[in-house]
Amino acid sequence: MPSSPEKRNRDTTRRLLDWYDKERRDLPWRALPGMKADPYKVWLSETMLQQTTVAAVKGYFRRFTERWPDVHALAAASREEVMAAWAGLGYYARARNLHKTAIIVSRDRGGSFPDTEEGLRELPGIGPYTAAAIAAIAFARRAVVVDANIERVVARWQAISTPLPGARKKIALVMDSLTPQQRAGDFAQAMMDLGSVICSPSRRKAGVLSLPDCDVCPISSTCLGRDQHPQFYPVRKAKTPRPTRYGLALLVFDEKGQVLVETRPDKGLLGGMDIFPGTGWPDGKAAQDNYPAGPENSAGQLMEAHGGGAVLNTVVEHVFSHFRIILTIHRLDVSSGTVALNPSQRWVPLAEIDDIALPTVMRKVARSGGMLKS
């Protein structure tokens, strides 16, 4: 090991940047070596990558940038268009804030993003991590960037035994000591790449945790965790089991080949997205696990007014971050003129169902009702 913490830090930073120059991942939002990063693409990708994987984001990023190649184009889109394009990516407040920020940057800043962490954090949806990542990658600012990959690499490299989330302050301090004055953006991306392809998450198979690929790691010689069972870092508290909730989704069809959808309120689960009438589980009390049809929810109101409908021989299961939902699917055929729509509801032609802002759980419902093939 190096003779001093400072030398160990310098050696680690240099080795990682040397490795990155040779092994950097080719990602659609990254500038080519020697080229300046596009702040719009950096911001868009970092927003999409929150709580999501690179593999899941690539297709969305490509479709967004083909449709809206710059921040002015995104700002000119309707929120409904943006939400529909985002559908399936999850954490839908990100999409609402994405559109708000695009409008602000286009209208008030002439299309230029702030180039400091402080300025970036004033924009909707940009928190400490995203501000640091954009400042470092897009504007070559020295900023300390810590995402989930970096968190894992640092916890192993420093053999931090404090369980998460309590270890995060120490991890940030270690990352601060490693981040260079120059090339902070490259260094952050190098740490992300290292965590993705070499110092990867441990997976349990046959009761045994997989190991990171320490033999090819460019910073293994300075890593304290390599010989201390690196698969056990970062240390985590035991997970609380996800509760299971039960609800109902109602597919209401009319004589014109349309289906009834309603738009969720902006705040709360699936905020701003389109859903089929249901039994209140998205905004129900957390302690409740069964959400029957009743006068307080749209499914109950419709079923009471139009004869109850038919139960389809299918259920839909979906896992959210904090609970699992099991939905029984009902079908109701009505005349559109007999339905009193509330302000959140509208009829959608079946041919257009693939184009609206259906979240993943509702796409599952649509597939169960034969409206979607994929």
Q: Of 23, 46, 80, 151, which residue is the catalytic one?
A: 46
Residue 17 is encoded by which pair of tokens?
């940047």
39-69 CB burial, b ≥16 within 10 A, e <16: bbbbbbbbbbbbeeebeebeebbeebbeebe
Chain centroid offset of residue 211 CA: 26
DSSP 208-225: EEPPP-GGG-TTGGG-SS
Q: Helix 39-49 and helix 128-139: axis angle, to 10°?
A: 150
Nearest to residue 151, comparing CAs of 168, 139, 163, 166?
A: 168
Residue 72 to residues 39, 65, 95, 96, 186: CA-CA distances in angstroms?
13, 12, 16, 16, 27
Measure the CA–CA gap between 294 and 278, rounded to whole angstroms.
10
Provide DSSP, 60-129.
HHHHHHHH--SHHHHHHS-HHHHHHHHTTS--THHHHHHHHHHHHHHHHHTTPPPSSHHHHTTSTT--HH
Q: Yes or no: say if 174 and 158 are a contact pair by the CB < 8 Å rule.
A: yes
Q: Where are the alpha helices (DSSP H) in 222-294?
A: none
Quote the tokens at residue 260.
């009834």
Residue 347 is inside which H or E element, if any?
A: strand 345-349
Residues in the chain: 374
Active site residue 46: yes
Which helix (H) or strand (E) is 136 found in, with range?
Answer: helix 128-139
Alpha carbon separation from 367 to 116, 250, 276, 287, 354 (Å, rounded)? 45, 13, 12, 29, 10
Catalytic positions, written as ranges: 46
